[in-house]
Amino acid sequence: MAGSGTFSEIIDGDVYKYYVDGQWKKSSSGKSVPIINPTTRNTHYKVQACTQEEVNNVIDSAKKAQKLWAKTPLWKRAELLHKAAAILKENKAPIAECLVKEIAKPAKDSVTEVVRSGDLISYCAEEGVRILGEGKFLVSDSFPGNDRTKYCLTSKIPIGVVLAIPPFNYPVNLAISKIAPALIAGNSIVLKPPTQGAVAALHMVHCFHLAGFPKGLIGCVTGKGSEIGDFLTMHPGVNCISFTGGDTGISISRKAGMVPLQMELGGKDACIVLEDADLDLAAANIVKGGFSYSGQRCTAVKVVLVMEKVASSLVKKVNEKVAKLTVGPPEDDCDITPVVTESSANFIEGLVMDAKEKKATFCQEYKRKGNLIWPLLLDNVRPDMRIAWEEPFGPVLPVIRINSVEEGIHHCNASNFGLQGCVFTSDINKAIMISDAMETGTVQINSAPARGPDHFPFQGIKDSGIGSQGITNSIHMMTKVKTTVINLPAPSYTMG
């Protein structure tokens, strides 16, 4: 059970502690933040409401610890990461239980999230040893007066303190995707988990504690964004910010100043289906891509753009699959579970009502109970409807019928977002041309959008983000280039 056994140290009474300088502590604020179970809508856990002074302490401690960590051999860093991965996987059951209760993620997907995170840590450790063990050597050439008199040695050095802010939908995995590359690269970490998902994240941090990382190297503060959010992101002690979430990322990027940013924000991932597509394959991917974790993934399929000629057949196939989705509590491992908060459910309902007023075709009856919204496919959606452009982050999927490939690409590119997109066709040449034309970070051919495999580059453009993620890219992003130039005396002879 969460908070017991291995994890008894991280809780005091009914409030989870925060983590500073290798210790689990209560906040001096005496206040806590409730975490509401999306299914029961009752308070399920409580976490500390940390103060700005406590944030200062966590950052100071991370700064000190990083100095020594930067000098720790790569193999030793990797060894500790492998240990943390093993402890995390051993504790997949209690951590998954937190995910079920805090964010209503279906039980099996919750376990998968923890296991995937363990694998990510191990891969990162291996990759880091190779990437960071190499440097570059250049000899001056071609620029007048410098011929072969300068030798340039370049290597990658740690960046310092990395602030990691993951979102509610992957509080463990998207924390790990920031923590593991930061640590292997010789940095320290300050983690600010999302409120929903904070307890799963605290359990994950405890796995790093048990693995024996130096004290201070990892710190974790919990609390209200309104109290400590700006304070953290504008803190002079922070050297890099890796954020995944919504619009807040845009305001962070405006306030953060001269620190490297890695941001993954929202998406409106379009799925273009051509006349020559395998419609069974497209329908299976649309349902999986659009409705897994109830559509609460930034890479979910968020709009289907299908050629008119095959639209009715595709919609029929998608509807047959939607009818088979199970709806209910995450404990029963249902496909569709309650969305994370009541305000999210209200927002989704607003989009549905707008589509209703503007006469979209409802393929299923709209049904909601508390935070639970039944899966809904909306056909004949038009560009004047909000759902054509806005991200529901819920189990509602619009279908827009198109008359040309150009129309589909135009709709995709008119979006403020540019995370991923996908195209279904049996013509690889056409698929590549469409991929080139779509203004998104990634285009999937004949499959739904997805971040993984976790070592692939992952990036959004426009309002979908800055920088590229994926294990290798994150390691590079969390290091600085250091160059040393050896200057030789000018040769006293003239070449040939």
Q: Which residues are catalytic?
A: 264
CB of 179 to ligand G3H, least distance (A): 15
Contact 19, 13 (CB under 8 A): no
Q: Which stretch binds ligand G3H (CB under 6 A): 44-52, 245-253, 271-279, 294-302?
A: 294-302
If binding is defined by CB under 6 A, does position 474 make contact with ligand G3H? no
CB of 353 to ligand G3H, least distance (A): 25
Quick one: which of 469, 442, 443 has its CA closest to 457? Answer: 469
Handedness of CA 68, 74, 76, 80 (dihedral sign): positive
If binding is defined by CB under 6 A, does position 178 make contact with ligand G3H? no
Spell out a b/e string for 354-363, using b for 16 or more CB atoms within 10 Å of the CB, else e: bbeeeebeeb
Q: Which stretch binds ligand G3H (CB under 6 A): 84-92, 308-316, 393-401, 447-455?
A: 447-455
Q: Which stretch binds ligand G3H (CB under 6 A): 179-187, 311-319, 434-442, 444-452?
A: 444-452
In Å, how far are 270, 352, 418 from 286, measured between CA atoms? 10, 19, 18
Query: Beta strand pairing status for 468-469 and 442-445?
Result: unpaired
If binding is defined by CB under 6 A, does position 187 make contact with ligand G3H? no
Would you state the structure tokens that stand for residue 291, as one six-digit string? 């409705």
Quick note: the x/- pattern for ligand G3H over 296-325, rule CB under 6 A, is: -xxx--------------------------
For ligand G3H, give the closer residue by CB, 58 or 121: 121
For ligand G3H, give the closer residue by CB, 235 or 451: 451
CB of 174 to ligand G3H, least distance (A): 6
Quick one: which of 356, 436, 438 has its CA closest to 398? Answer: 356
Quick one: which of 50, 28, 260, 258 has its CA closest to 163? Answer: 260
CB of 73 to ligand G3H, least distance (A): 32
CB of 242 to ligand G3H, least distance (A): 12
Quick note: the x/- pattern for ligand G3H over 264-283, rule CB under 6 A, is: x-------------------
If binding is defined by CB under 6 A, does position 452 make contact with ligand G3H? yes
Q: Which residues have CB under 8 Å from 248's CB, separation 6+?
A: 225, 229
Angle of the 308-323 helix axis to the 279-291 helix axis, nearest 10: 50
Give me the residues that bind ligand G3H (CB under 6 A), please.
169-170, 264, 297-299, 450-452
